[in-house]
Amino acid sequence: MLKVIDIVCGYGDLDIIKGISFDVEDGQTKVLLSLNGSGKTTLLKSLSGIIPVRSGRIVFDGKDITNESPRERVRSGMLYVPEWGVFPTLTVRENLILASSISKGKSNLDFSEISELFPDINGRLSERAASLSGGQRKILMLAMAVASGSKMLLLDEPSSGLSPSFVDRVLDILKQLKEEGITLLVAEQNPSFSEISDELIILELGKIISKGKYEDLRKNDEIRKKFFSL
């Protein structure tokens, strides 16, 4: 579904991502694991078109999207989900409808499907997003991503700022999305998310230093101490 081929990107004269290549197959979940400041967010923004790629190629669903706009990529079925991205002055219902219309170009949404997957927001559809807790807003963001109908979600640190109980809830939701066949690329520093990955990609200072199964990578003493002991 997604092929990232030797991409370089950054800000000003500084290259943050330095020649990264990897694939994500249809229905797979891959986790980009790194410490803060290693380029996770920059990489996801480049894949979504927010930051231009200086060199290399991005292919999605068999089509070269390297030079496509963020909106064109959303229309193609790829959605970037930032750390925080709800519309606080809108109600929960309005946030979900907006997410659906931006991606699908239509505003009719099956709320029963969303409610089944996200019981956390049942009874809150008429409340403004600003009234939700941080954890509830994160759940709403994931619900909006699902409402968009996107084929692939690029999730930027979904555990950021959450209590352990909400981190567990987010993990449960991602497991459900994986079972639904939605393709996921998750950028995280929380090693707990490694357990849901079909392949784990270790990122350091803008480069991939290792990738493979979580069970195999955790056997590497250096990687385990640096990335799995947070």
Residue stretches of the chain with pLDDT short of 70: 103-108, 230
196: closest CA among 33, 43, 2?
33
**The predicted structure's pLDDT at residue 104:** 56
What is the domain range of residue 53?
A: 2-227
Provide the CATH number for the domain around residue 23: 3.40.50.300
Per the structure, the count of domains in the chain is 1
Output the pLDDT for position 13: 92
pLDDT at 186: 98
**Other CB atoms closer than 10 Å to residue 48's CB: what's the count?**
20
Where are the alpha helices (H) located in the chain, listed in sequence order? Answer: 40-48, 70-76, 92-104, 111-117, 134-147, 164-179, 214-217, 221-227
- CB-CB contact of 212 with 179 (8 Å): no
Contact 92, 99 (CB under 8 A): no
Q: ∠218-22-222 over CA atoms, to 5°?
A: 25
Predicted local confidence at residue 105, as pLDDT: 56
pLDDT score recorded for residue 43: 97
CA 10-12-15 angle, to 5 degrees, is 35
**Residue 98 three-state SS:** helix
The pTM assigned to this predicted structure is 0.92
Name the helix (H) or strand (E) containing 207.
strand 207-212
Q: Which residue has the tokens 């030797």?
A: 6
- pLDDT the model gives residue 150: 93
What pLDDT sits at residue 107? Answer: 57
* pLDDT at 229 (0 to 100): 75
Q: Can you give the pLDDT at residue 123?
A: 84
Beginning with the edge strand found earlier in the chain, give each strand of the sheet holding 14-24 in spatial order: 14-24, 2-11, 55-60, 63-64
Over the range 51-83, which residues count as b (16 or more CB within 10 Å of their CB) and which as e?
bebeebebebeeeebbebeeeebbebbbbbbbe
Tell me, what's the pLDDT at 111?
Answer: 78
Residue 189 phi/psi, 5° resolution?
-110, -10
